[in-house]
């Protein structure tokens, strides 16, 4: 696609801080990072940004490439963990965002941030904050509705 930012990166029409690539995928440091080393892994071929609609074989290889890049970030920064997000909103081109978790230690396992948030609709971003406690009977009703669809 001629106006796709990620297609332009793949073609070399835009400069980037590349950290890894193979014949199918490219990993670059995000130009708008919210943490040091934030990285975007993109497909070299253009696929829609909703990665759950891409062919299974490409999706699986994208996941493996993302794992490889995560391990590169762990060693290169160094960090002990990297978070992965597949929101797909910046560009309509399949991509995965990687967030190095600077300062993460084992003590963070089981730790829950006190902030709570619930969205009735997409607000332009995702968060890992938990929401308020849900009513289990309402969750069961919702699970029944969802299960009816398959």
Q: What is the pLDDT of residues 68-121, one digit of tens each?
A: 999 999 999 999 999 999 988 878 999 999 999 998 887 777 777 888 999 999
pTM attached to this predicted model: 0.89
- C-alpha torsion 113→117→123→125, nearest 10: 10
Alpha carbon distance 138, 58 (integer Å): 37
Q: Strand pairing partners for 95?
A: 42
**What is the residue extent of each domain of the chain?**
5-104
The answer to whether residue 126 scores a pLDDT higher than 80 is: yes
Token pair for 92:
């309509």
Strands 25-29 and 39-43: antiparallel
Class of domain 5-104 as given by CATH:
alpha beta
The answer to whether residue 127 scores a pLDDT higher than 90 is: no
pLDDT for position 108: 77
Token pair for 141:
């009703």
Alpha carbon distance 23, 50 (integer Å): 21
CA atoms within 13 A on the CB side of 130: 8
């Amino acid at each position: 696609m001629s106006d796709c930012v990620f297609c332009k990166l793949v073609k070399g029409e835009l400069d980037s801080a590349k950290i890894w690539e193979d014949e199918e995928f490219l990993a670059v440091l995000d130009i708008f990072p919210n943490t040091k080393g934030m990285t975007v892994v993109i497909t070299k071929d253009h696929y829609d940004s909703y990665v759950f609609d891409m062919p299974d074989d490409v999706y699986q290889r994208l996941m493996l490439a993302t794992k490889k890049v995560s391990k590169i970030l762990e060693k290169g920064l160094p960090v002990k963990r990297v978070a992965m997000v597949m929101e797909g909103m910046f560009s309509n081109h399949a991509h995965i965002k990687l967030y190095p978790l600077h300062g993460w230690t084992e003590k963070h396992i089981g730790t829950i941030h006190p902030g709570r948030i619930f969205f009735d609709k997409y607000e332009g971003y995702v968060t890992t904050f938990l929401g308020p406690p849900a009513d289990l009977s309402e969750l069961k009703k919702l699970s029944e509705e969802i299960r009816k669809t398959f």
